[in-house]
Amino acid sequence: TKPIDIVALTDRIDAVIGREEPKGYRVLVIDDDAVTSEYYGTVLRSAGMSVKLLNDPSQLLKVMTDFRPELLLLDVYMPMCNGIELAKIIRQDNSYLDVPIVFLSSERDLGKQLEAIQSGADDFLTKPIEADFLVSALSSRAERYRSLRSLIMRDGLTGLYNHTAIKEELGAEMSIASRNGGPMALAMLDLDNFKNVNDTYGHPVGDQVLRTLSRLLRQRLRRSDIVGRYGGEEFIVIFPDTSAAVARKVLDQIRIAFNKIQQHADQGDFSVSFSAGIADLEVTLDADELFDVADEALYRAKQGGRNRIEL
Ligand code: GH3
Ligand code: MG
Ligand code: MG
Ligand code: MG
């Protein structure tokens, strides 16, 4: 009999209990009228959405980075800024090319509505609107956006964030951490002598090892930690609100656990290790520099004999 593959088993349990993000779509409501936005905010919240109300459009870009809405519900007429102008500004940013923008306004003039759509919006709804209708119109758009995004952002082999996504996540986490003045750590992992694994057991077995490490990372790390596949056999972990020393401790336990896992191949069982380098946000506020610092630490871990973590 084959030994039980604990990693595969817990992965199945995770799938059953649904470890995915809850369906609370993040919706940003921008309306100068606090009463109106409170009302629609309440409607969407009671439908399980996570709603942020914004009455001051000058805060828009900051809120976009921190809250990362999956849909924007925009008013047209606001004293400080026109909603149509806001939509144009959002669409100019490459990161928000595809975030759904829906206007909700009492404007009935078709010319004005057309202008709003031409600014890059996806839909124009008119007030007053039936609560159920609003909820389902927004849910379906947010749902589609979330699915598309996860296709674009995920690595096909492991399901982790891919290179582009993890860099984006790092940028967002760094801006939050620097604003809160809190700690943050970045780890760069690299499998040891992985070329040998491929050469000895074949590429599909190598792929299996990559998947095993990915699952282990997702299982052992906290929900708030962010894991990505940076390149071939290189992984990144972002530890929000965590000092480098604590990140190292956590990762060291994962390192030991991973090394104990028996990998199976026709030629026999074997084990694999990884090395890692950790960078502390205290060192630099520049994302590229933080990567470099982690990479240098990783290099030292390799030089020091592999299967170890350096700060
Ligand atoms: P070191 O301990 O110094 O990191 O040695 P290494 O052999 O791991 O490093 P090297 O950079 O020489 O080799 C990395 C290997 O990772 C080579 C490549 O074939 C393998 N690799 C990269 N991406 C994948 C993948 O998606 N699947 C498989 N099976 N192997 C991959
Ligand atoms: Mg208004
Ligand atoms: Mg490598
Ligand atoms: Mg390697």
Catalytic residue among 233, 234, 282, 289: 233
Of 209, 194, 189, 201, nearest to 5 by C-alpha is 209
b/e per residue, 237-274, with b = 16+ CB within 10 A?
A: bbbbbbbbeebbebbeebbeebeebebebeeeeeebbb
At 118, phi and psi to the nearest 5?
-70, -20
Cα separation values, 106 from 76, 77, 128, Å:
9, 9, 7
**Residue located via tokens 């056999």:** 233
Cα 122 to middle of ligand 1, angstroms: 43
Q: State residue 19's pLDDT score.
A: 45
Q: State residue 94's pLDDT score.
A: 86
- Ligand 1, atom 25, lies closest to the CA of 232
Closest ligand 1 atom to 192 CA:
2
Cα 124 to middle of ligand 2, angstroms: 14
In this predicted structure, the answer to whether residue 162 has a pLDDT above a threshold of 70 is yes
Cα separation values, 24 from 20, 28, 48, 170, 257, Å:
11, 12, 5, 23, 34
What is the average per-residue pLDDT within 203-216?
Answer: 97
Q: State residue 109's pLDDT score.
A: 96
Closest ligand 1 atom to 191 CA:
8
- The residues, ordered by sequence, that sit 6+ positions from 126 with a Cβ below 8 Å of its Cβ are 104, 105, 106, 107, 108
pLDDT band at 66 (very low <50, low <70, confident <90, very high): confident
Q: State residue 18's pLDDT score.
A: 43
What is the average per-residue pLDDT within 285-308?
Answer: 96
Mutate to test the pocket of ligand 1, among 233, 235, 263, 307 (most ligand atoms within 8 A of CB): 233
Mutate to test the pocket of ligand 1, among 157, 194, 205, 308 (most ligand atoms within 8 A of CB): 194
Q: State residue 17's pLDDT score.
A: 47
Cα separation values, 56 from 19, 33, 53, 65, 81, Å:
35, 10, 9, 16, 9
Q: What is the pLDDT of residues 169-198, one digit of tens each?
A: 998 899 889 888 889 999 999 999 999 999
Share of the chain above pLDDT 70, in %: 93
Residue 141 · residue 71 · CB < 8 Å: yes
Q: What is the pLDDT of residues 3-28, one digit of tens each?
A: 666 666 655 555 554 444 457 999 99
Angle subtended by helix axes 131-153 and 163-180, to nearest 10: 110
Q: What is the pLDDT of residues 82-134, one digit of tens each?
A: 999 999 999 999 889 999 999 999 999 999 999 999 999 999 999 999 999 99
Look up 233 and say whether it is catalytic. Answer: yes
Closest ligand 1 atom to 157 CA:
26
What is the average per-residue pLDDT within 39-57?
Answer: 94
- Ligand 1, atom 11, lies closest to the CA of 195
What is the average per-residue pLDDT within 51-56?
Answer: 92
What is the average per-residue pLDDT within 269-284?
Answer: 94
- Ligand 1, atom 12, lies closest to the CA of 195
Cα 86 to middle of ligand 4, angstroms: 46
Cα 261 to middle of ligand 4, angstroms: 18
Q: Which residues line ligand 1 (CB under 6 A)?
A: 157, 190-195, 198, 203, 206-207, 210, 232-233, 302, 306
> Which ligand is nearest the CA of 78, by number?
2
